Structure 1
């Protein structure tokens, strides 16, 4: 059972209904918490409403449009006085209006009782008019429309022969005169344009603000047809909107251009039975600001979405971000939504050796302009180099940090290549010097040994061994010379690379058998001959097979594969062993001068091999995993430039 509680009372809705009905009235009870109104059966019958409970807005729609402002105020604000009375018009069947008197009784903070009775014609002239007590004054209410509602109530009770010559009733009566002056003062002082147009489109009134907006005075356009002043063909949208308001009896608001004065205005049209009330605002300047702001935002968005860097704005604590540009997702592989929810989610992907440096850099960004570079492993597994710059901005006592993330992976890779190139140049210079210094003594030794061989005394039993070693030294020197001049004297001829690979394997037949290495060859039959240097390719594949066998001293598997990539027009050969493999950091240094994983190696072998492949227009790439082995991939173009 729903109860209505007042001062010392505890009644159900039905009991409240019967109590008011015994006085010959009906009642509606407003429950503020649920924003609903319980209606007495008599009220339901008056408005032809089948449901007892109605939402407030539905209930208000049962009253004349000019009376709804007062009723809405009554329902939305506390009433200080114990009683208030208001005279309003109730719409019967949604069309005809009937004057009723409502007595407002506040039962509690949540419940308001509206006791109503229908008025006869003679009662309308004598009943006291509505008065609004001070608590109804609110900055959120359109007071002008409220006052116009009161004026309309008073106009309805004046003599039927009230003058129609002006926009307002005759002011012969003192009460009407006082109220008219108050409203006139408001209308002429408000910062909005105000106009009244009759159903026949006659301009009845415009206030001084509207005169300034449209550049016309009331005396010049008074009683003129609106469409004579503003031609329909030029102001067609105005005609459509005003007609819509009059026909539907609904408020219409729109924005359009005022061609006479080159202004953008916002018009709100309030329809009544016999006239149209207009409120007009000049929004030219604000519209310009909005358009300028929109253009700026569009330009910034276009910039942010198309540059490689990611812009960001965050709090000084970095616990939240005000803005992050779309490029962030492309650089870091993390969605902006996830970062907004958890601003520290990206820290876990920073290389552990760089994480502390990044945290310290971010702390310093609160006070100074700082740049920090670090390695970042995106969720997909790729390692990137990131440069982050940030600096503080102080606004209205608040500090924010503005910054930019930049993917500098390519820059870092170029720096590494440049460093390797410098090292290579150094080695080349050293190699050329060594070759120059060794070649001359070798020539002398070779000459003396030839003399010794011409001696038939038989004391030259070690001469052949000496010559063999000298030949090997000469080969090493020649390799140094090739390293010094990798592009010199290339002999490009038709070359069967498959035959070279097979020959390279055959040279190590004894070692393969001795180490118990299982060899498998998977080579496509459609691999064509290419224009290349067979001597260099021989050395390349001999070095690669030799390295693989040295990595499998205790046996293993060696897979040699080859194919022709029709799309890329190149040959791809892979030498894959199941040896001990090497770590990622060591793998990155493969090819550096003097870097080797062997006890007695110099690191020049791989460097020479790489340079040979590159001199033939190809590439050499290594993949390795500790405990699983290493794969060397040689790619050679079909047509060497």
Structure 2
């Protein structure tokens, strides 16, 4: 029997499924059974899209019962994303604008998830009037759709992966045409993919034909077997690791840039060769023992030191350990195999001929990638001769101690804190001589020498380099003595200063001689300037004489004449004062003074001498230089000496450029340059300038530059000479500036 439905009458139901005269026929019953038990979901709708009848299959698909579906509107079951399109299609279908149709839509399950469904929509009943019904057949294709989506997602992931990997990836069909390439391939080939897709690889890269790459591609394609090779591509200067994978559609190729790896391999090989060369050619003996203490490798120095041939001991335990040292050596080996490095130690070893030698050994563990000690490296040095020399040295030290104790020079040894460890007996000449054990040897000095000496001592300790200084010490015989001291650091094994050896010598007489020499040089300069000064004084004297005669003859007093005469007398007085100041010996007294007025005075003094020699002094003061700590007269003597030499170097006249400014190369220093246009000095003679009695002038003594350099050194400055024959000479003086 046909079953009754709440939303459709019996008559309508019977008519729909083929009943005759309201009696169900076998065909009607069969049609109804097909609707109810169809494996496809079945829905019967009226034209208002209300559900009149549903079968078990659609109920399972949607997770609802027939009672829940009965009377519901079809749009309430459709996913919101497909609702608009589905309603548009149903409207067209009901209006007769489209025939029965099929579509894929999403329905919503009672649990909330999406059900992908393939629907077939057709019309039942009359084509017009109220007897029309809509039959919807729904096939659940959720699993298929999910599989498709999963496949699409997988393909997308693969595509994304191929685009993001740095390796190049290309696909070729069997006609050798590009069908795909990733960004890595674009970068490797250095062309856009749209320029490559569909193009034959050998047309684009003819240089690759008949190469290893060409052969590998063809073999892989023809034999349907993967191929792997490493290939160097000269146009890009790169190495690539290439993998070819054939398929029935063509060839897939991966390129991995291994240029860095190749370079590292080359560097590793080079390092190994260097290491082998270093081991083989090392002056020290080197031997490597395995975990059973057998020789793996040894250099020629090892065989020579112990007197064996390589074939005698290679692969065996070395026979170089004296019996009495076996236990001690085994203990050292155990420490090394535990990962400890043994610093250089002095011991004794046995040669093949039975003689014992003194050696210095360093034992180091060799560790593999698993951080396990697999072997031992022993570096040895024969110190037999050194030990012999050490004994000789101790004997020499005793002899040198006797010399130090009997020399007139002051010899002392102090630790880094200034404590006296040794002082020679010659220190008795000092009013308060330091004795061994004194806490501070600098206490006997007065300021400013004390501060200067402490700084000098600290510089020696910190720089670990020798330094020299001149100091004034109290003396028993005189008020004071000037000593020249040289400090030499004594370094320990760690490279740090452990003590300072100071050797001092009384140079008081030498200083007096230098002062006399300096005074003599002043007088010499004054004498040489006499002609120019006489000329300079004669001009104003002539003017004075003329005005006096004129006033006597005219017997008229004129004030303007007196002003001119006073001016000329002041000029004479200034020249004579400068000359007397240069020649007069004065006590050295350092003061902070500006440098420009000193240079201006010197230029003014030498101007007449320069004019006689047709030489122009080009001096332009800058006005912004910091002052220096100096003895004014001594610096004037240096500047006069340099300018006088420059004038004499230009017998045909010329120009001397004088400049003074803060040094750009050495901050904190003032730089003065004197540049002439004279005959110059050959390069091989420049190094001898400043030596006493060495001069390039026919009647010179060579003492002028020596005195000048001494003065600059006393001002803690430096003097440099640069010259080229026929191009002139440049003298550069650097002096410490006093910060303003």
Choose between structure 1 and 2 for higher RCO, CA contacts under 8 A separated by at least 6 residues.
Answer: 1
TM-score, normalising length: structure 2: 0.27
TM-score, normalising length: structure 1: 0.31
Pick the structure with greater CA Rg: 2
